[in-house]
Amino acid sequence: MSIAVLGAGAFGTALAISLAHKGPVSLWARDVQGMDVIRENASRLPGCHFPDALFVTDIFEDAAKAEILLVSVPMQKLRGFLTDHAVLLAGKTIVACCKGIELKTGLGPVAVIRETLPDAVPAILTGPSFAADIARGLPTALTLACADAAMGERLQKALTTQNLRLYRTVDTIGAELGGALKNVVAIACGAAMGAGLGESARAALMTRGFAEMQRLAAHLNADPDTLSGLSGFGDLTLTCTSTQSRNYRLGLAFGEGRSFDSATTVEGAATARAVHGLAQKHGLDLPITAAVAGLIENRLDVQSAMKSLLTRPLKEE
């Protein structure tokens, strides 16, 4: 099955590099920026050479001819991207490679694909991964979620590479939520560490944050086992403990009281606000999410956010 990656950010480029070690892959970028000549994405993944089978193009029509299209654009831009290219994407197999919840609608990537491209076959690729690791050929395991079980098997075989191992599930809701909510918890963990609250505080936030992830997932009829896998617990562990995570770094900036580059895409910022809105709508108690939303919206500082969590009524675990 022919493959194209639409979007040449760090993650999209890394996937294209890994897949091109297996066979021909097209990488579409709005601006090629000489990548086809120097054979690397110098601005996003410097030093990661493109295999000979990776073809870079800025002609969308050419890339969209592939049978499998991996869409690697920020979550909050996904709907606009799909709408702008709806004619060429209709009926295609679309694999979302972004993590988050749409701020305006409260929907995840697969649901957005279903709304904008009713004839497409949607899937999502998510899990604990850093683009640089994938591009350098380091072993990485991800979740591939597709409600069509037969298509999920075909995608698993087509997208698994020497360093990229995929586990499949039909639970797209659980996979979406795991990838989105772990970013919110990572911001909270970064804030705690930046404020000097210590490793024990981070462990508590990760554990109680995971409980919030499970609570929302259960309410939205996801499979609890999905959240215990790569797309939930696995991604949570990675994102909450590494400065390679932009969400964690944003939290660190909050905790240290310094500014953060506003040009950097941090999916957890919009997701925290979106999930907080979902929690209010459904009457769910998600205190860590509420605290992070307060930080993002400048309604709380780190100390008041932590106080709000520590002074909550005592309860059973």
Angle between helices 267-282 and 75-84 (to 10 degrees): 90
Beta strands (DSSP E) in the chain are: 3-6, 25-28, 54-57, 68-71, 93-96, 121-126, 140-145, 164-169
Asked whether 236 and 206 are in contact (CB, 8 A), the reply is yes
Check residue 192 and report its DSSP letter.
H
Q: In the block, which residue shows the tokens 């086992």? A: 225
The packing angle between helices 267-282 and 287-296, to 10°, is: 130
Count of H-run helices and E-run strands, the chain: 16, 8
CA-atom Rg of the chain in angstroms: 19
From the list 65, 182, 281, 315, the catalytic residue is: 182
> Is the Cα dihedral 54, 55, 56, 59 positive or negative?
negative
Rounded Cα distance, 159 and 154, in Å: 9
Q: Where does residue 228 fall: left (phi above 0), alpha (psi -120 to 50 degrees), or beta otherwise?
A: alpha
- Let me know if 182 is a catalytic residue: yes
Enzyme catalytic residues: 182
